[in-house]
Structure 1
Amino acid sequence: MAKAWTAAQVARKVIDNEQLFILDVRNKEAFEDWKIEGKQFEYLNIPYFELLDGVEEILPQIPTDRELLVVCAKEGSSVMIAQMLEAEGREAAYLAGGMKSWSTYIEPIKIDDLTDGGELYQFVRLGKGCLSYMVMANGEAAVIDAVRFTDVFIDFAKEKNVTITHVFDTHLHADHISGGRKIAEITGATYYLPPKDAEEVVFDFHDVLDGLKVQIGSVNIEALYSPGHTIGSTSFVIDSRYLLTGDILFIDSIGRPDLAGLAEDWVDDLRTTLYDRYRELIDELIVLPAHFMIVEELNADGSVAKRLGDLFAENHGLNIEDAEEFRKTVTDHLPPQPNAYKQIRYVNMGKLKPNYDEQTEMEIGPNRCAVR
């Protein structure tokens, strides 16, 4: 009987940089669009319907010196193929819940200790490239850019014996459904959103304005208006040491300005943020983005973080001197729009209320918040 591996088990193999061979039995288009990424993973994509008569012909393509995982969309096909491989004497596991479960798994990683016993955690959603944060100190906690799986954050706060008092979104998200407002409703925390992104929202919130300062115990959180990905995009400086950039600046790229259909209008804001506002900050700040694009951006501990000064030196998007060339680079190298991004924006405005399965379908697929 083939073994079931959980998304958490696969996540550890990604983070620990282990070898793995993945037989992905989804169709070619789905595989090429989005797959489980690991620095030492190898892949074979054969749609399951091509294997219904047997797996004998693909056995020579599957190495025997590393673990084998079969993956499909929701689990059923991978169970069948894994069992067929086992019948041929090849040990195989399948991903429980398929890519659907991979899309939802979140791994909390400690980033650092903060002032007077405070702590900063990054929540890494490996299958979607989403990064959320929790700042905690003196029994209080703030959550930034939470994804929709609110129990992860609420349970983690309980485990750490802290009360969530503040919840922030750096902008109105378009590639995933925010859990920020729901966390605030459940915990009684104050929910903050940049007002320039919130002209169409249908719920109450507190404004995130440039220079806003919030204390979480002994830790200071300060807002820095940084438009460009959206017109309201706002970064946060944590404890004068960390820069949460939202979807404006990533480790290997920069944010795209077009998810509200306003690329030509917002590209100048994006350049001003990256080339003026951020350059006024100290190089020693550690950048913590709201997304990552490729698995190579992960550090050895699985975190996604890098010194701002290093990004000024290494990130191509921060080194385009000519403004017109920057504009052309940004507007001409945009990847496909995220899956269901218009509906997701409406959900985050409070205008749509899809059920759990509908939310899952909206979010299926890779993160596409960056300029290529």
Structure 2
Amino acid sequence: MTIIKMTAAEVARKVIDNQPLFILDVRNHDAYVDWKIEGHNFEYLNIPYFELLDGVDNVLSKLPIDQDVLVVCAKEGSSIMVAEMIAEAGRDVFYLEGGMKSWSSYLEPIKVGDLRGGGELYQFVRLGKGCLSYMVISEGEAAIIDAVRFTDVFTNFAKQKNVDIKHVFDTHLHADHISGGRLIAEATGATYYLPQKDAEEVVFDYTAIEDALTVKIGAAQINVSALYSPGHTIGSTSFIIDGKYLLSGDILFIDSIGRPDLAGLAEDWVGDLRETLNVRYRELTEELIVLPSHFMKIDELNTDGTVAKRLGDLFAENHGLNIESEDAFRHIVTDHLPPQPNAYQQIRQVNMGKITPNYDEQTEMEIGPNRCAVR
């Protein structure tokens, strides 16, 4: 029988389209438990590859014959070896090209909606890392918010749409992934914006984001308005797009709220987080559609693959928005923090421009799940 490679893009389409897939993950158990490919209709079997070196006979009976079987490892080598043994036993089988490294890197652009005057808003979903980036398009111009480091994805998409990237924003100084914002701006001549309170240690030029800053995109005059919203970082800033969408950065997620500790200042910033969520956001119209910069689990995806929800619904359903007392909020936030993101201190240094790791080093820094939220 045959062994066939499956790309990260093909796996992503199975996730978004709610298709079935059986995954045989041959990484070590602790790596699998910490981080795996998630799908609404996926099934899993985790057997470390070293347990299969003598053959796969004991595994074959556990593999379905009525759906695709995908073998997954860290970089693809071990999955090819196991997949070859399964094929030799007479079964069709796939392996993930590039392994979990390729899954961590893949971005799926999805249209969120139309804007006034023929504009469009796109969300770039990084399924393997939980990162969400955005592109606002209007009459030949584009703005990007919270771009990840795979800059070609954004510049190539802009070319496909025949638009020029004029503005690039980061809602805050990221600590869980490396920003591509500054490099995109340098490559395109766009203006790069960063909250000034997060930029005290950066070593490059930027344009400061201030509260109530308004940038117009294209002749259609789509407003990208800044709303100071500290708590995840001291400079965290949200954006309201076209009076319809709230890009909440890492302050508010669909099923949780942002963590305040990635600069080591949880006790100092937890009060800012509460004020943003319970004062600044409460003053906004509940009809705004919240578009966060991360998601935590596959259940947060809508049926079209986007991560978005009405602000009023989050006020009713998100547990982080329904903690009444300040003491209870402080206790819940500071006592329920997940492990720190992988290499988050080094990632902050990269995003400040202080260190410049090579591509492989950047990949290793970002390996693992999203950990920006309070559990």
In the superposition, the TM-score normalised over structure 2's length comes to 0.99
Query: What is the aligned partner in structure 1 of residue 258 from structure 2?
Result: 255
1:329 counterpart (305, 308, 332): 332
Name the counterpart of 2:235: 232
Render the CA deviation track for 1:100-123: whole Å, top value 9, x for unaligned: 000000000000110101000000
Alignment of 1:57-206 (within 5 A): 57-206=58-207
Could you tell me which amino acid in structure 1 is paired with residue 354 of structure 2? K
Letter in 1 for 2:88: A
Paired with 1:65 and 1:185, the residues of 2 have a C-alpha distance of 50
**Residues 1:268 and 2:271 are matched in the alignment:** yes
Q: Write the deviation string for residues 79-105 of structure 1: whole angstroms up to 9, x where unpaired.
A: 010111111122110000000000000
Question: 1:330 Cα shift?
Answer: 0.3
CA-CA distance at 1:65 after TM superposition = 2.1
Distance 1:11 1:299 in 2: 14
Q: CA–CA distance in 2 between the matches of 1:369 and 1:72?
A: 25
What CA distance in whole angstroms lies between the structure 2 residues aligned with 1:154 and 1:328? 43
* Aligned counterpart, 1:42: 43
Structure 2 distance, partners of 1:186, 1:291, is 25
2:309 aligned partner: 306
For 2:90 and 2:276, the matched residues in 1 are separated by: 57
CA–CA separation in structure 2 for the residues paired with 1:10 and 1:345: 30
Counterpart of 1:210? Answer: 211
Cα RMSD over matched residues?
0.6
SS of equivalent to 1:38: coil
SS in 1 for 2:61: helix
Alignment partner, residue 364 of structure 1: 367
Q: Aligned to 2:246, which of 243, 246, 251? A: 243
Percent of aligned positions that are identical: 76
Q: Which amino acid aligns with 2:51?
A: E
Runs of 4+ in structure 1 displaced over 4 angstroms? none
SS of 1:235 mapped into structure 2:
strand
SS in structure 1 at match of 2:339: coil
Q: Specify every segment of 5 or more residues in structure 1 that has no aligned partner in the other structure, as ranges.
A: none
One-letter identity of the residue aligned with 2:240: V
Report the Cα distance in structure 2 between the residues aligned to 1:179 and 1:16, rounded to whole angstroms: 28
CA distance in 1, matches of 2:117, 2:87: 54
Distance in 1, matches of 2:336 and 2:92, equals 43
Equivalent position to 1:286, from 247, 268, 289: 289
Name the counterpart of 1:347. 350
- Following the alignment from structure 2 to structure 1, what is the Cα–Cα distance between the partners of residues 239 and 355? 28
Query: 1-side partners of 2:143 and 2:41: how far apart?
Result: 35
Q: How many residues align?
A: 372
Measure how far apart 1:64 and its partner are: 1.8
The amino acid of 1:203's aligned partner reads: F
Distance 2:128 2:78 in 1: 20
Q: Secondary structure at the match of 1:166?
A: strand
Task: Find 1:220's aligned residue among 215, 223, 240.
Answer: 223
Q: Distance in 1 between matches of 2:80 and 2:10?
A: 17
Residue type of the alignment partner of 2:14? K
Give distance in 2, aligned partners of 1:297 and 1:201: 33
Structure 2: runs of 5+ lacking an equivalent? none
Q: Partners in 2 of 1:130 and 1:313 — Cα distance?
A: 24
What is aligned with 1:14? 15
Q: CA deviation at 1:288?
A: 0.2
Q: Does 1:296 align with 2:270?
A: no
The residue type equivalent to 1:360 in the other structure is T
